[in-house]
């Protein structure tokens, strides 16, 4: 019996369901933490949906992610800011400081 529901979800780069911008692994992890598996969104579209700023959402959801090994292991695949595939259009300063 597979108890890790996240193992079957492809976390490779996909596109945001709303704006079609590419998603990084961390954005995919955030979506999984929020229960989104089929329609994943970028951090900015998720922030609009959740009615918070992207920075606040990122900080809040990471508090959940870091306590879940299956999510945190994926999160840690980007070890340094240079690993971020979207440095210009995302929040690497926030993402890599939490």
What tens-digit pLDDT sequence spans the chain (98 residues)? 333 444 555 566 589 999 999 899 999 999 999 999 889 999 999 999 999 999 999 999 999 999 999 999 999 998 898 888 888 888 888 888 88
Residue pair 21/40 in contact (Cβ under 8 Å)? The answer is: no
Residue pair 26/95 in contact (Cβ under 8 Å)? The answer is: yes
* Residue listed under structure tokens 């920075």: 55
pTM of this structure: 0.82
Cα separation, 84 vs 92, in Å, equals: 7
Cα separation, 39 vs 18, in Å, equals: 9
Planar angle of CA 9, 19, 86, nearest 5 degrees: 70
- Whether 56 maps to a domain, the answer reads yes
- Whether 62 maps to a domain, the answer reads yes
Q: How many domains does the chain have?
A: 1
- Whether 37 maps to a domain, the answer reads yes
Q: How far apart are the first and last CA of the chain?
A: 34
Residue 38, domain extent: 13-95
């Amino acid at each position: 019996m597979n108890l890790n529901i996240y193992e079957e979800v492809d976390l490779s780069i996909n596109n945001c369901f709303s704006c079609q911008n590419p998603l990084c692994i961390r954005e995919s992890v955030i979506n999984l933490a929020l229960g989104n598996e089929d329609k994943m969104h970028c951090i900015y579209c998720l922030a609009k949906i959740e009615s918070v700023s992207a920075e606040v959402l990122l900080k809040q959801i990471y508090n959940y992610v870091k306590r879940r090994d299956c999510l945190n292991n994926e999160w840690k695949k980007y070890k340094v800011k240079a690993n971020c595939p979207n440095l210009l259009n995302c929040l690497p300063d926030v993402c890599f400081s939490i």
